[in-house]
Structure 1
Amino acid sequence: MSVNTRFQNILYLMAGVVTVFVFSLILNNEQVLNNSDTVFLSKPIASETVLITSAGLSTDTYIVQNAANKLRLHSLFMPQATYADLEGIASMIVVVGHSDVGYRLAGKSIDDEKERLDRLIESATVKEIPIILVYLGGKDRLTTHTRELIGVTCGCSDYIIATKKSDQEYFIDIAQAGDIPLTLINDAGEIVETLAAAFR
Protein backbone atom coordinates (compact mmCIF):
# COMPACT_ATOMS: atom_id res chain seq x y z
CA MET A 1 0.00 0.00 0.00
CA SER A 2 1.45 3.36 -1.01
CA VAL A 3 1.85 6.26 1.42
CA ASN A 4 -0.79 8.23 -0.50
CA THR A 5 -3.29 5.37 -0.32
CA ARG A 6 -2.64 4.89 3.40
CA PHE A 7 -3.10 8.62 4.01
CA GLN A 8 -6.34 8.63 2.01
CA ASN A 9 -7.71 5.71 4.01
CA ILE A 10 -6.84 7.45 7.29
CA LEU A 11 -8.58 10.67 6.22
CA TYR A 12 -11.66 8.78 5.07
CA LEU A 13 -11.79 6.87 8.37
CA MET A 14 -11.45 10.09 10.38
CA ALA A 15 -14.31 11.66 8.43
CA GLY A 16 -16.42 8.61 9.20
CA VAL A 17 -15.65 8.77 12.92
CA VAL A 18 -16.70 12.43 13.08
CA THR A 19 -19.92 11.65 11.21
CA VAL A 20 -20.79 8.77 13.56
CA PHE A 21 -20.10 10.99 16.59
CA VAL A 22 -22.51 13.65 15.33
CA PHE A 23 -25.08 10.97 14.54
CA SER A 24 -24.78 9.54 18.06
CA LEU A 25 -25.61 12.96 19.51
CA ILE A 26 -28.72 13.11 17.34
CA LEU A 27 -29.70 9.55 18.21
CA ASN A 28 -29.52 10.23 21.93
CA ASN A 29 -31.86 13.20 21.66
CA GLU A 30 -35.16 11.73 22.89
CA GLN A 31 -37.14 14.74 21.74
CA VAL A 32 -36.23 14.03 18.13
CA LEU A 33 -37.32 10.40 18.40
CA ASN A 34 -40.51 11.15 20.32
CA ASN A 35 -41.64 13.60 17.65
CA SER A 36 -41.32 10.96 14.94
CA ASP A 37 -44.20 10.42 12.57
CA THR A 38 -42.34 7.85 10.50
CA VAL A 39 -44.46 5.26 8.71
CA PHE A 40 -42.98 1.79 9.16
CA LEU A 41 -43.24 -1.29 6.96
CA SER A 42 -46.03 -3.71 7.83
CA LYS A 43 -43.60 -6.64 7.60
CA PRO A 44 -39.82 -7.13 7.19
CA ILE A 45 -38.43 -7.10 3.66
CA ALA A 46 -34.76 -7.86 4.39
CA SER A 47 -32.67 -10.40 6.28
CA GLU A 48 -29.10 -10.95 7.42
CA THR A 49 -26.28 -10.97 6.40
CA VAL A 50 -26.61 -7.43 5.07
CA LEU A 51 -24.03 -5.65 2.92
CA ILE A 52 -23.80 -1.90 3.59
CA THR A 53 -22.27 0.02 0.72
CA SER A 54 -22.10 3.55 -0.63
CA ALA A 55 -23.28 5.17 -3.82
CA GLY A 56 -21.26 8.35 -4.04
CA LEU A 57 -18.75 7.77 -1.21
CA SER A 58 -20.34 10.13 1.32
CA THR A 59 -19.77 9.51 5.03
CA ASP A 60 -23.52 8.91 5.50
CA THR A 61 -22.63 5.26 5.00
CA TYR A 62 -21.00 5.31 8.45
CA ILE A 63 -24.27 6.51 9.98
CA VAL A 64 -26.11 3.51 8.58
CA GLN A 65 -23.35 1.15 9.71
CA ASN A 66 -23.60 2.58 13.21
CA ALA A 67 -27.37 2.00 13.13
CA ALA A 68 -26.84 -1.62 12.03
CA ASN A 69 -24.43 -2.11 14.93
CA LYS A 70 -27.00 -0.75 17.38
CA LEU A 71 -29.51 -3.24 16.02
CA ARG A 72 -26.87 -5.98 16.19
CA LEU A 73 -27.44 -6.88 12.59
CA HIS A 74 -24.92 -9.25 11.06
CA SER A 75 -23.48 -6.88 8.48
CA LEU A 76 -20.52 -6.30 6.19
CA PHE A 77 -19.41 -2.68 5.81
CA MET A 78 -17.90 -2.18 2.36
CA PRO A 79 -18.34 1.38 0.99
CA GLN A 80 -16.78 0.36 -2.34
CA ALA A 81 -18.26 -3.14 -2.60
CA THR A 82 -18.34 -4.87 -5.98
CA TYR A 83 -20.45 -7.67 -7.39
CA ALA A 84 -17.77 -10.10 -6.22
CA ASP A 85 -18.60 -9.23 -2.59
CA LEU A 86 -22.18 -10.54 -2.75
CA GLU A 87 -21.31 -14.12 -1.83
CA GLY A 88 -23.31 -15.07 1.27
CA ILE A 89 -25.20 -11.76 1.30
CA ALA A 90 -28.96 -11.88 1.99
CA SER A 91 -29.77 -8.17 1.58
CA MET A 92 -28.03 -4.92 0.70
CA ILE A 93 -28.28 -1.31 1.87
CA VAL A 94 -27.09 1.33 -0.60
CA VAL A 95 -26.48 4.72 1.03
CA VAL A 96 -26.63 7.40 -1.65
CA GLY A 97 -24.80 10.71 -1.49
CA HIS A 98 -22.27 12.22 -3.88
CA SER A 99 -19.09 13.43 -2.16
CA ASP A 100 -16.27 15.16 -4.01
CA VAL A 101 -14.03 14.57 -0.99
CA GLY A 102 -14.88 10.87 -1.00
CA TYR A 103 -13.95 10.58 -4.67
CA ARG A 104 -10.64 12.35 -4.16
CA LEU A 105 -9.73 10.14 -1.21
CA ALA A 106 -10.63 6.98 -3.12
CA GLY A 107 -9.04 8.16 -6.37
CA LYS A 108 -12.33 7.59 -8.20
CA SER A 109 -14.59 9.54 -10.55
CA ILE A 110 -18.37 9.71 -10.81
CA ASP A 111 -18.17 7.51 -13.90
CA ASP A 112 -16.14 4.91 -11.97
CA GLU A 113 -18.74 4.96 -9.22
CA LYS A 114 -21.69 4.59 -11.57
CA GLU A 115 -20.01 1.67 -13.34
CA ARG A 116 -19.26 -0.08 -10.02
CA LEU A 117 -22.77 0.54 -8.77
CA ASP A 118 -24.44 -0.57 -11.99
CA ARG A 119 -22.65 -3.93 -11.95
CA LEU A 120 -23.31 -4.37 -8.23
CA ILE A 121 -27.04 -3.64 -8.56
CA GLU A 122 -27.36 -5.87 -11.61
CA SER A 123 -25.68 -8.77 -9.83
CA ALA A 124 -27.77 -8.29 -6.67
CA THR A 125 -30.94 -8.31 -8.77
CA VAL A 126 -29.95 -11.52 -10.53
CA LYS A 127 -29.27 -13.10 -7.12
CA GLU A 128 -32.65 -11.78 -5.87
CA ILE A 129 -31.01 -9.87 -3.04
CA PRO A 130 -33.38 -7.23 -1.58
CA ILE A 131 -32.00 -3.69 -1.93
CA ILE A 132 -32.71 -0.84 0.47
CA LEU A 133 -31.90 2.64 -0.85
CA VAL A 134 -31.10 5.20 1.86
CA TYR A 135 -30.74 8.95 1.39
CA LEU A 136 -29.98 10.94 4.57
CA GLY A 137 -29.10 14.33 3.08
CA GLY A 138 -31.18 17.44 2.59
CA LYS A 139 -32.39 19.08 -0.58
CA ASP A 140 -29.11 21.00 -0.96
CA ARG A 141 -27.17 17.72 -1.24
CA LEU A 142 -29.56 16.28 -3.81
CA THR A 143 -27.21 17.32 -6.60
CA THR A 144 -27.19 16.22 -10.22
CA HIS A 145 -24.59 13.54 -9.45
CA THR A 146 -26.55 12.29 -6.45
CA ARG A 147 -29.69 12.05 -8.58
CA GLU A 148 -27.71 10.10 -11.18
CA LEU A 149 -26.67 7.61 -8.52
CA ILE A 150 -30.23 7.35 -7.24
CA GLY A 151 -31.29 6.68 -10.81
CA VAL A 152 -28.87 3.76 -11.05
CA THR A 153 -30.18 2.27 -7.80
CA CYS A 154 -33.88 3.03 -7.47
CA GLY A 155 -35.20 0.91 -10.34
CA CYS A 156 -34.14 -2.29 -8.56
CA SER A 157 -34.76 -1.15 -4.98
CA ASP A 158 -37.22 -2.96 -2.73
CA TYR A 159 -37.48 -0.19 -0.15
CA ILE A 160 -36.53 3.50 -0.01
CA ILE A 161 -35.71 5.54 3.09
CA ALA A 162 -35.24 9.29 2.66
CA THR A 163 -35.41 12.40 4.80
CA LYS A 164 -38.32 14.81 4.83
CA LYS A 165 -35.88 17.69 4.38
CA SER A 166 -34.93 16.27 0.98
CA ASP A 167 -37.13 16.69 -2.09
CA GLN A 168 -40.13 14.68 -0.86
CA GLU A 169 -42.03 14.85 -4.14
CA TYR A 170 -38.97 13.54 -5.99
CA PHE A 171 -38.81 10.42 -3.82
CA ILE A 172 -42.58 9.97 -3.78
CA ASP A 173 -42.61 10.04 -7.59
CA ILE A 174 -39.81 7.45 -7.72
CA ALA A 175 -41.58 5.21 -5.22
CA GLN A 176 -44.93 5.43 -6.99
CA ALA A 177 -43.40 4.82 -10.42
CA GLY A 178 -41.69 1.65 -9.23
CA ASP A 179 -44.33 0.59 -6.69
CA ILE A 180 -41.61 0.74 -4.02
CA PRO A 181 -42.37 1.16 -0.29
CA LEU A 182 -41.12 4.56 0.93
CA THR A 183 -40.48 5.86 4.43
CA LEU A 184 -39.73 9.56 4.92
CA ILE A 185 -37.94 10.23 8.21
CA ASN A 186 -37.44 13.52 10.00
CA ASP A 187 -33.66 13.12 10.20
CA ALA A 188 -30.84 10.60 10.53
CA GLY A 189 -31.75 10.03 14.18
CA GLU A 190 -34.69 7.88 13.07
CA ILE A 191 -32.72 5.50 10.87
CA VAL A 192 -32.32 2.88 13.63
CA GLU A 193 -36.02 2.29 14.23
CA THR A 194 -36.73 2.49 10.50
CA LEU A 195 -34.16 -0.20 9.69
CA ALA A 196 -35.48 -2.28 12.58
CA ALA A 197 -38.84 -2.45 10.82
CA ALA A 198 -37.15 -3.59 7.61
CA PHE A 199 -35.29 -6.46 9.29
CA ARG A 200 -37.49 -7.44 12.24
Structure 2
Amino acid sequence: MEVEVEVEGELTWEGLFLRRVVMAEAHCHTLHGLLRGLLEVLNEQVWRDVVAIAEETRRKLEDASTELGLGIANMGAARHLALWGGAPSGRAPLPSVDDLADPHMRSSLDQLQKAAEIATRIHDRVESAHGHLSAAEFLLALNVDGGDDDAPWVHDPCVSKQIDGLMELSEALSLAVDLVALTAAAKEAVFAVD
Protein backbone atom coordinates (compact mmCIF):
# COMPACT_ATOMS: atom_id res chain seq x y z
CA MET A 1 0.00 0.00 0.00
CA GLU A 2 1.56 3.27 -1.08
CA VAL A 3 0.45 6.32 0.83
CA GLU A 4 0.62 9.82 -0.56
CA VAL A 5 -0.42 12.85 1.40
CA GLU A 6 -0.64 15.69 -1.10
CA VAL A 7 -0.68 19.38 -0.39
CA GLU A 8 -0.77 21.64 -3.43
CA GLY A 9 0.52 18.85 -5.67
CA GLU A 10 3.55 18.00 -3.50
CA LEU A 11 4.12 15.37 -0.88
CA THR A 12 4.28 16.62 2.69
CA TRP A 13 7.08 15.44 4.94
CA GLU A 14 4.55 13.17 6.68
CA GLY A 15 3.68 11.56 3.35
CA LEU A 16 7.35 11.09 2.54
CA PHE A 17 7.89 9.63 6.00
CA LEU A 18 5.07 7.12 5.46
CA ARG A 19 6.48 6.18 2.08
CA ARG A 20 9.94 5.53 3.58
CA VAL A 21 8.48 3.31 6.30
CA VAL A 22 6.56 1.31 3.70
CA MET A 23 9.62 1.02 1.49
CA ALA A 24 11.83 -0.10 4.41
CA GLU A 25 9.36 -2.86 5.21
CA ALA A 26 9.16 -3.95 1.57
CA HIS A 27 12.95 -4.14 1.15
CA CYS A 28 13.32 -6.11 4.38
CA HIS A 29 10.60 -8.52 3.26
CA THR A 30 12.40 -9.03 -0.07
CA LEU A 31 15.68 -9.58 1.80
CA HIS A 32 14.04 -12.31 3.85
CA GLY A 33 12.84 -14.09 0.72
CA LEU A 34 16.26 -13.85 -0.92
CA LEU A 35 18.04 -15.30 2.12
CA ARG A 36 15.51 -18.09 2.49
CA GLY A 37 15.82 -19.02 -1.20
CA LEU A 38 19.60 -18.91 -1.12
CA LEU A 39 19.76 -21.09 1.98
CA GLU A 40 17.48 -23.66 0.35
CA VAL A 41 19.69 -23.82 -2.75
CA LEU A 42 22.87 -24.08 -0.70
CA ASN A 43 21.45 -26.75 1.61
CA GLU A 44 20.81 -28.91 -1.44
CA GLN A 45 24.34 -28.31 -2.77
CA VAL A 46 26.51 -28.39 0.37
CA TRP A 47 28.02 -31.79 -0.33
CA ARG A 48 28.14 -31.28 -4.09
CA ASP A 49 30.08 -29.03 -6.39
CA VAL A 50 29.87 -25.53 -4.88
CA VAL A 51 31.58 -24.09 -7.97
CA ALA A 52 28.56 -25.04 -10.09
CA ILE A 53 26.36 -22.61 -8.15
CA ALA A 54 29.05 -20.07 -7.21
CA GLU A 55 27.88 -17.39 -9.66
CA GLU A 56 24.25 -17.73 -8.59
CA THR A 57 25.31 -17.62 -4.94
CA ARG A 58 27.35 -14.45 -5.46
CA ARG A 59 24.50 -12.80 -7.33
CA LYS A 60 21.95 -13.66 -4.64
CA LEU A 61 24.28 -12.48 -1.87
CA GLU A 62 24.76 -9.19 -3.75
CA ASP A 63 20.99 -8.88 -4.20
CA ALA A 64 20.49 -9.52 -0.49
CA SER A 65 23.10 -6.87 0.38
CA THR A 66 21.39 -4.40 -1.94
CA GLU A 67 17.96 -4.99 -0.42
CA LEU A 68 19.42 -4.70 3.07
CA GLY A 69 21.15 -1.45 2.15
CA LEU A 70 17.96 -0.02 0.67
CA GLY A 71 16.03 -1.04 3.77
CA ILE A 72 18.57 0.65 6.05
CA ALA A 73 18.62 3.77 3.85
CA ASN A 74 14.83 4.07 4.04
CA MET A 75 14.92 3.62 7.82
CA GLY A 76 17.45 6.43 8.08
CA ALA A 77 15.50 8.64 5.70
CA ALA A 78 12.32 8.14 7.73
CA ARG A 79 14.14 9.18 10.90
CA HIS A 80 15.68 12.19 9.17
CA LEU A 81 12.32 13.30 7.75
CA ALA A 82 10.60 12.98 11.12
CA LEU A 83 13.25 14.88 13.05
CA TRP A 84 13.46 17.71 10.53
CA GLY A 85 9.81 17.80 9.51
CA GLY A 86 8.54 17.53 13.07
CA ALA A 87 10.68 20.42 14.26
CA PRO A 88 8.75 23.61 14.93
CA SER A 89 11.11 25.94 13.07
CA GLY A 90 12.45 23.72 10.32
CA ARG A 91 15.86 25.34 10.83
CA ALA A 92 17.12 22.63 13.14
CA PRO A 93 15.98 19.06 13.72
CA LEU A 94 14.33 17.89 16.88
CA PRO A 95 16.93 16.67 19.37
CA SER A 96 15.28 13.28 19.79
CA VAL A 97 12.54 11.02 18.49
CA ASP A 98 10.94 11.43 21.93
CA ASP A 99 10.28 15.08 21.04
CA LEU A 100 7.93 14.18 18.18
CA ALA A 101 4.31 15.15 18.82
CA ASP A 102 2.78 12.12 17.08
CA PRO A 103 2.91 9.01 19.33
CA HIS A 104 2.38 6.70 16.35
CA MET A 105 5.36 8.19 14.59
CA ARG A 106 7.47 7.84 17.76
CA SER A 107 6.46 4.20 18.06
CA SER A 108 7.23 3.57 14.41
CA LEU A 109 10.66 5.15 14.74
CA ASP A 110 11.41 3.11 17.87
CA GLN A 111 10.65 -0.05 15.88
CA LEU A 112 12.81 1.17 12.99
CA GLN A 113 15.70 1.88 15.37
CA LYS A 114 15.56 -1.71 16.65
CA ALA A 115 15.30 -2.92 13.05
CA ALA A 116 18.38 -0.91 12.04
CA GLU A 117 20.39 -2.54 14.83
CA ILE A 118 19.36 -6.00 13.61
CA ALA A 119 20.07 -5.00 10.01
CA THR A 120 23.67 -4.25 10.96
CA ARG A 121 24.00 -7.75 12.42
CA ILE A 122 22.48 -9.25 9.26
CA HIS A 123 24.98 -7.32 7.15
CA ASP A 124 27.85 -8.81 9.13
CA ARG A 125 26.44 -12.33 8.72
CA VAL A 126 25.89 -11.93 4.97
CA GLU A 127 29.44 -10.62 4.46
CA SER A 128 30.87 -13.44 6.56
CA ALA A 129 28.85 -16.02 4.61
CA HIS A 130 30.14 -14.53 1.37
CA GLY A 131 33.71 -14.89 2.63
CA HIS A 132 33.23 -18.50 3.72
CA LEU A 133 31.51 -19.54 0.51
CA SER A 134 34.16 -17.83 -1.63
CA ALA A 135 36.84 -19.65 0.33
CA ALA A 136 35.03 -22.96 -0.21
CA GLU A 137 34.88 -22.25 -3.94
CA PHE A 138 38.61 -21.46 -3.97
CA LEU A 139 39.54 -24.59 -2.01
CA LEU A 140 37.46 -26.75 -4.31
CA ALA A 141 39.06 -25.11 -7.36
CA LEU A 142 42.50 -25.94 -5.96
CA ASN A 143 41.53 -29.59 -5.92
CA VAL A 144 39.98 -29.52 -9.42
CA ASP A 145 42.91 -27.66 -10.93
CA GLY A 146 45.52 -30.27 -10.10
CA GLY A 147 45.55 -30.48 -6.33
CA ASP A 148 46.52 -33.76 -4.69
CA ASP A 149 43.27 -35.78 -4.77
CA ASP A 150 44.50 -38.05 -2.00
CA ALA A 151 45.26 -35.28 0.44
CA PRO A 152 42.61 -35.29 3.17
CA TRP A 153 43.05 -31.58 3.90
CA VAL A 154 41.81 -30.57 0.43
CA HIS A 155 38.22 -31.64 1.05
CA ASP A 156 37.85 -30.97 4.74
CA PRO A 157 38.51 -27.21 4.63
CA CYS A 158 36.20 -26.84 1.62
CA VAL A 159 33.33 -28.60 3.36
CA SER A 160 34.11 -26.75 6.58
CA LYS A 161 33.89 -23.40 4.79
CA GLN A 162 30.61 -24.41 3.15
CA ILE A 163 29.17 -25.32 6.53
CA ASP A 164 30.47 -22.07 8.07
CA GLY A 165 28.81 -20.13 5.25
CA LEU A 166 25.54 -21.98 5.75
CA MET A 167 25.63 -21.31 9.47
CA GLU A 168 26.16 -17.59 8.86
CA LEU A 169 23.29 -17.52 6.36
CA SER A 170 21.06 -19.43 8.78
CA GLU A 171 21.78 -16.82 11.44
CA ALA A 172 21.14 -14.02 8.93
CA LEU A 173 17.81 -15.61 8.00
CA SER A 174 16.83 -15.93 11.65
CA LEU A 175 17.65 -12.27 12.19
CA ALA A 176 15.76 -11.35 8.99
CA VAL A 177 12.61 -12.86 10.50
CA ASP A 178 12.97 -10.42 13.40
CA LEU A 179 13.79 -7.60 10.98
CA VAL A 180 10.62 -8.20 8.97
CA ALA A 181 8.55 -8.31 12.17
CA LEU A 182 10.00 -5.01 13.38
CA THR A 183 9.54 -3.18 10.09
CA ALA A 184 5.99 -4.53 9.82
CA ALA A 185 5.33 -3.27 13.36
CA ALA A 186 6.78 0.13 12.39
CA LYS A 187 4.43 0.28 9.41
CA GLU A 188 1.43 -0.78 11.51
CA ALA A 189 2.28 1.77 14.21
CA VAL A 190 2.42 4.69 11.81
CA PHE A 191 -0.88 3.73 10.21
CA ALA A 192 -2.62 3.14 13.55
CA VAL A 193 -5.73 5.14 14.19
CA ASP A 194 -6.73 6.31 17.67
Q: Point out the structure with the larger strand share.
A: 1
TM category (shorter chain) comes to under 0.3
Relative to the length of structure 1, the TM-score reads: 0.27
Relative to the length of structure 2, the TM-score reads: 0.27
Larger radius of gyration: 2
Q: Point out the structure with the larger helix share.
A: 2
